[in-house]
Structure 1
């Protein structure tokens, strides 16, 4: 009988009690996972934290921000003891996730270093029932002030479809900056001047952007604070030509086979005039894709002026089409499309040697749809020249060229009706009027003199 009672005692008292003590004295700390959107605190800022306990359950969670002797408790949440239910926690987990806003300017804190800490305790009897404690901290920088900008250039006269130059100074490192023109953004470059805090930016007005277009320097620091500084500018209105191009059956039958659109070809075969439908697709959809392909490399432009003097024009060539001509395409007297011509067509003799307009680095040599064989030269600070429809290319990507070096020969590749050079100038991701770059007076007044004037101020 005694043995039976002892067995009952062990089974229903000792073992449960031992299991209770074993679990309630567990020594596993809670797990803390803290996610900060940035090491820089700005006005719109939230901390995300996930705390997990795989034992007796969470007892308390605290989130605190501290700067010197200033402390602010952002979160202090307590959880009741779950009694016997806590015995089952060892087989599961207790997880809580928090998203806590931080408004440091309301806590009497100033710009500078601060510390964010997350603490968590569980209901363990370990440490005289104080529980197991987990602790994590991360250093942050309170930054609520926008960057300072000083515009150093005084006059900015820009024509519709033309280029401008601005120089400005920043007063702290790690700033992303440039000029906004309407919806377009042109990054600034440090390197033209000895002072690394002085930035140079070429910006442009698209051929459809005229007077009234917003224009300002913008700077964004690592904390996301944005500063905008306007500058004096005058936008000249400019009218561009209108032109009509008659698309013939002869042109379509000669040119359309040169374009292999792969699976898209099947769509045109089903139509009444496959070559015409293919031309319209090329002139609209493929044109947009090709322009993006051509302009994308400019994001890697070198951070210095690589060129000097005015840009060269194809020798002895006549203008066959102008920049921003508004073209109407007609077939059998009916309008089938309208597009803008974003360069200047120059024609001389067949397979004429094409010179580099100025010194730079070859960014691209490729066949790009409507442009045919192209050579693209980076002249630094987001400025590039593009030479299209070439019959041959005499340079490769990465080559450094001098003004006048022969880079290829004119041709009729791409969507060209005859042998000529389509010459384009781009500023970052916008085609601009090449005529300005051939004009030494324009270059002196709008670029060289402005750079010299800033150098005299530094």
Structure 2
């Protein structure tokens, strides 16, 4: 009887008390999983943090920014104590998540080093019931001063559809900078000069941007501070040709079978003129998709000028279409479609060898819809040349080529109606007028003389 009574008392009192002491005296530290978007306290800076304690539960969470003797509390949150019964229930708060805004301009702190301090305590009975304590400091940098730069070039004459060059010097490192032309942004690069703070930026006007286009140099530091400033420039307006192309049944019967559009083919069969319906889709929807594809490729560029002197033109070829020609397509005398020709068509003999227009690196060699077999060469600083409708390609992505190295042969792949080379030049995501790059006088006046002049300035 006594043994039974002892067992009952043991199970009813001693075991629960032992379990309480075991749990309440647990020694596992609470944890804080904190994510800082950058070491630099940027504008619109937010700290994401999750505090957890799976034992006795969270007691207190504090997050602050500290610079010397100046401390600004960003988060200060206490949690209600859990009862003894919480050991057998979900009463304890074991996790909490925060998004903490940081606005350094309001804290009276100066630019320089600071720390983000995180303290989390729990409800364990250790340390005379003060609990276990998580403590961490993350170093950050306060930076509220925008970057500064000095434009080193003086003349910036650029034509509609053409290219300009500006060179400027930054006053601090790790700054993202370039030229904003309307909505387009052209990055600057530090690989042309020995001084990494001297930046070279090629920029371009598209065939739709005229004299009213706004052009600025922009610089943004890691803390998000920005400087935008205009520089002297002159934009020359230009009028591009209009051209009418008559689409014949013979052309449709000849070219449309070259394009396999998969499930869409059945859709065209329901049209009154299936071949014409397919052409319209290819000339408008597929053209837009293919243009977007090739314009992404020049972003794979090197931060150096790989080209030298003027760019060569396909030998012995005649111009069959000009840059930015506005094309109107007619079928049986009726206007059916429109497009803009963003390159120059060069016609030579059938299957004529095509040489690289200048030194560079192959960044595309594949079939691209309306362009057919297409080779793109990176010449550095975002400048690229494109060769389309090739009957064959003799290079692969990653190959280095010299001026006049054979990269393929002319053909009529894609939407070409006859054997020719479609030649384009691009700067980042904009098609530009190739004629400028064939002109040694233009290159000297607008590119190389500027670079040499700045080199003389900074030596």
Q: Deviations over 1:123-172 (max 9, x none)?
A: 22211111121222222122222222222111211111111111112222
Counterpart Cα distance in 1 of 2:375 and 2:22: 76
Shift of 1:363: 2.4
Shift of 1:74: 1.9
Matches within 5 A, 1:45-64: 45-64=45-64
Q: Deviations over 1:278-303 (max 9, x none)?
A: 11111111112222222322111122
Q: Does 1:323 align with 2:352?
A: no
2:58/2:92 contact within 8 Å kept: no
Unaligned 5+ runs, structure 2: none
Matches within 5 A, 1:338-377: 338-377=338-377
Specify the alignment match of 1:272 in structure 2.
272
Specify the alignment match of 1:157 in structure 2.
157
| TM-score normalised to structure 2 length | 0.93
Unaligned 5+ runs, structure 1: none
Matches within 5 A, 1:236-247: 236-247=236-247
For residues 411 and 57 of structure 1, do their structure 2 counterparts lie closer, same or farther at Cα, with a shift above 3 Å needed?
Answer: closer
Specify the alignment match of 1:124 in structure 2.
124
Specify the alignment match of 1:173 in structure 2.
173
Specify the alignment match of 2:88 in structure 1.
88
- DSSP 3-state at the match of 1:262: coil
For residues 7 and 262 of structure 1, do their structure 2 counterparts lie closer, same or farther at Cα, with a shift above 3 Å needed?
Answer: closer
RMSD after superposition? 2.1
Specify the alignment match of 2:209 in structure 1.
209
2:82/2:92 contact within 8 Å kept: no
Counterpart Cα distance in 1 of 2:220 and 2:89: 48
1:56/1:90 contact within 8 Å kept: no
Q: Deviations over 1:239-294 (max 9, x none)?
A: 10111100000000011111111222121122111111111111111112222222
Specify the alignment match of 1:248 in structure 2.
248
Counterpart Cα distance in 2 of 1:303 and 1:65: 38
Counterpart Cα distance in 1 of 2:92 and 2:129: 21
| TM-score normalised to structure 1 length | 0.94
More deviation in 187-196 or 245-254? 187-196
2:82/2:91 contact within 8 Å kept: no
Specify the alignment match of 1:42 in structure 2.
42
More deviation in 176-185 or 333-342? 176-185
Counterpart Cα distance in 2 of 1:27 and 1:89: 20
Q: Deviations over 1:308-339 (max 9, x none)?
A: 22222223322211110100001111111110
More deviation in 223-232 or 78-87? 78-87
- What number of residue pairs does the alignment pair up? 458
Specify the alignment match of 1:415 in structure 2.
415
Specify the alignment match of 2:30 in structure 1.
30
Q: Deviations over 1:427-455 (max 9, x none)?
A: 11111111111122211111111111111
Shift of 1:8: 5.8
Counterpart Cα distance in 2 of 1:318 and 1:168: 40
Shift of 1:392: 2.8
1:389/1:412 contact within 8 Å kept: yes
Specify the alignment match of 1:18 in structure 2.
18
